[in-house]
Amino acid sequence: MEKLRAYLNSLSPSDQEDFARRCNTTIGYLRKGISTGQLFGESICINIDRESEGTVTCEDLRPDVDWAYLRGTKRAA
């Protein structure tokens, strides 16, 4: 969540609003999630990863999800 906080803080208020809109959410929802340590749903994690151009990754937001499997980067056992 700290990476997301830092990323948002690097944006102007209007850019924060635009970013949240592109992620199909609001800046208020993102800020509340950061402050409460909420686990975002997988789809919003994907949106944040995409819209931040990988600055904030799915793995940063939800380390409990097997993103490597979805990305096709998981090594065979």
What confidence tens digit (pLDDT) does each residue in 42-71 have? Answer: 999 999 999 999 999 999 999 999 998 888
Domain 2-71 has CATH 1.10.260: yes
What SS3 string covers 7-74?
HHHCCCHHHHHHHHHHCCCCHHHHHHHHHHCCCCCHHHHHHHHHHCCCCCCHHHHCCCCCHHHHHCCC
Domain residue extents for the chain:
2-71
pTM for the model: 0.90
> Which of 39, 10, 32 has its CA nearest to residue 52?
10
Question: 16-38: per-residue pLDDT in tens?
Answer: 999 999 999 999 999 999 999 99
